[in-house]
Structure 1
Amino acid sequence: MAPEKASVTVTLELEAGNASLMILGKMLGPTGVPPFEVKRRYDTATADRRGEIIPAVITVDARKRWTMRLETPPTASLIRAVLGKPGSPQARHKPVGAISRDDLRRIAVRKLPDLNTDDVAAAMNIVAGTARSMGVRVEE
């Protein structure tokens, strides 16, 4: 009996409730996973969060069986949603705004399942670092 091939993992950042079939087809085509079925399942699972970007991690085994796991939105998109505008093209030289500690805490708590820490304070530091790299200050 031949050894089983390793599984393939594809991570896609898609719009919640409205996944692009073109992106799905392009990324999943080589894996043999039906993009229409992934779109249907993704759109159903994320319909209540329309407008957000929800990453989906799709794992495909050698027999073309697949599973989908949803993650929390990217930290930068959560900061942009709170700020109401995009980040700065020159973060150190042209700040674009500020977010409060309460907003920082809300984002950190939401991102906690996907971060490599269980401590909210450490998660807040991680989110604050992303905010700094976007040209966003954190108000005390």
Structure 2
Amino acid sequence: MAPKKPLAVIKIELEAGNAAMVDLGKALGPHGVATMEVKRRYDADTARHAGEIIPAIVSVYDDRSWDLRTTTPPTAFLIKQVIRRDGAARPGHQSVATITARDLEAIARRKLPDLNTTNIQAAIRQIEGTARSMGVRVTR
């Protein structure tokens, strides 16, 4: 049996445990994937993170089969959860909140599997850069 050929790799960001069919249909419909099956699997895989935005990668193959892999929430989303507001309208000119080093470390530990490093200090620096670009001050 010949290996499956990948036709498309689709990246989607949906609400955990409650994926919107409209968004799934827009992303997966053109590829002929059974969106209801993807929704059920996504909702089951992400149910424990309800209320968060969980990205997923759907690989679609030539026989219309598919694989689903979820990742950690976006860094900006996790920072917004900690500061309980949106980032600055003019980052670098405005500061909207302050985040502690402990909060940065907690976010970095959660994001570590999806970052391009295995070093926790490097991961913290990446998270810190995202926070600064959102207009969030970091206290040590």
* TM-score after normalising by structure 1: 0.95
Runs (5+) with no aligned partner, structure 1: none
Answer yes or no: is 1:23 the counterpart of 2:26: no
1:5 deviation in Å?
5.0
Q: Which runs of 4+ in 1 moved over 4 A?
A: none
What's 1:94 paired with? 94
* TM-score after normalising by structure 2: 0.95
What's 2:112 paired with? 112
**C-alpha contact (below 8 Å) 2:6/2:59 kept by paired residues:** no
2:113 maps to a residue whose letter is P
Q: Percent identity?
A: 51
1:61 deviation in Å?
1.0
Answer yes or no: is 1:64 the counterpart of 2:32: no
How many Å separate the matches in 1 of 2:16 and 2:120?
Answer: 26
1:44 deviation in Å?
1.1
Deviation per CA, 1:30-65: give whole Å up to 9, x if none: 111111111111111111111100001000111111
1:7 deviation in Å?
2.9
How many Å separate the matches in 2 of 1:17 and 1:112?
Answer: 22
Q: How many corresponding residue pairs?
A: 137
How many Å separate the matches in 1 of 2:120 and 2:6?
Answer: 35
Runs (5+) with no aligned partner, structure 2: none
- The CA RMSD over aligned residues, in Å, is 1.0
1:39 maps to a residue whose letter is K
Answer yes or no: is 1:122 the counterpart of 2:117: no
How many Å separate the matches in 2 of 1:69 and 1:6?
Answer: 15
1:103 deviation in Å?
0.2
